[in-house]
Structure 1
Amino acid sequence: MELKLSASYDASPEEVFAIVTDTTFREQACAKTKALSYDVQVSESGGNTVVRVKREMAATDIPDMARKFVGQTLTVVQTETWRPAAADGSRTADVTGEISNTPVTLKGKASIGAQGGKTVQAIDLDVKVAVPLIGKKLEPFVVDAIRSGLQKEHDLGREWTH
């Protein structure tokens, strides 16, 4: 199931990139999404900037049919591999993720670029729940949870740019 989300900021692409690759920002975003625990790592790899966020979340809004797959908590691991900036400061990233010990995966692209005097951060993900028969029924719940977390992260990003 596809998930597309974007947010605009009153900041340059360089400033937005600095925020999304800031360990403290990502830790605050984890706290804002009520993560029970989290680990944020930002590293350089061959000219790319790699952001890896692992967070443990309470499985509170999980439908009964999925509870046997996930238990009481979910461990979400997301990795963004940001490429070097283009001449205009824009950047793209490959995004991968999973909910550990479940059949849930996500992959897609993220971007940061100037648009009409603002900077737009966009994400386009494909979320898969590889469970026969009920996977397609569970995907909307997973997408809603991811969208909610990303929206909170974007809200925090706007606070950081002011």
Structure 2
Amino acid sequence: MELKLSASYDATPEEVFAIVTDATFREQACEKTKALSYAVEVTESGGDTVVRVQREMPSHDVPDIARKFVGETLTVVQTETWHAARPDGSRHADIRGEISNTPVTLKGTAEITGNGSTTVQAIELDVKVAVPLIGKKIEPFVVDAIRSGLQKEHELGREWTH
């Protein structure tokens, strides 16, 4: 199931990139999404900046049909590989993620693009729940949870740009 989301910031592409690759920002985003625990790593690999966020989330919002797969908590692991800036300052990232010990995976891209005096961060993800028969029923709940988390992260990003 596809998820597309974008947010606009009153900042340059360089400033937005600096925020989304800042470990403290990512830790605050984990706190804002009510993570029970988390680990954030930001590393350089060649010309790329790799952001890995692992967070343990409560599963009380998970529908009953899926709870037997996940237990009391979910461990969400997301890795963003941000590539070097283009000449105009825009950035592209490859995103991979999973909910550990479940059949849930996500992959997609993120873009940071200047647009006049603002910068847009656009995220496109493909979320898969690889469970015969019920996977398609669970995907909308997973997508809604991811969307909610991303919206909270975007709100925090706007606070960081002011």
Coarse TM-score class (shorter-chain normalised): over 0.9
- Kindly state the Cα deviation for residue 46 of structure 1 after the two structures are TM-superposed: 1.0
Question: 5 Å matches for 1:32-47?
Answer: 32-47=32-47
Q: Following the alignment from structure 2 to structure 1, what is the Cα–Cα distance between the partners of residues 11 and 117?
A: 9
Deviations 1:98-157 (A, max 9, x none): 000000000000010111321000100000000000000000000000000000000000
Helix, strand or coil for the counterpart of 1:62? coil
Question: 5 Å matches for 1:4-23?
Answer: 4-23=4-23
Name the counterpart of 1:61.
61
Root-mean-square deviation (Å) = 0.4
Aligned partner letter, 1:127: V
Name the counterpart of 2:153.
153
Helix, strand or coil for the counterpart of 1:65? helix
Q: How many residues align?
A: 162
Aligned partner letter, 1:45: S
Q: Following the alignment from structure 2 to structure 1, what is the Cα–Cα distance between the partners of residues 60 and 87?
A: 44
How many percent identity over aligned positions?
81
Helix, strand or coil for the counterpart of 1:123? strand
Name the counterpart of 1:78.
78
Deviations 1:67-89 (A, max 9, x none): 10000000000000000000110
TM-score (norm 1): 0.99
TM-score (norm 2): 0.99
Helix, strand or coil for the counterpart of 1:30? helix
Helix, strand or coil for the counterpart of 1:138? helix
- Kindly state the Cα deviation for residue 160 of structure 1 after the two structures are TM-superposed: 0.1
Give the ranges of 4+ consecutive aligned residues of structure 1 lying more than 2 Å apart after TM superposition: none
Aligned partner letter, 1:70: V
Aligned partner letter, 2:24: T
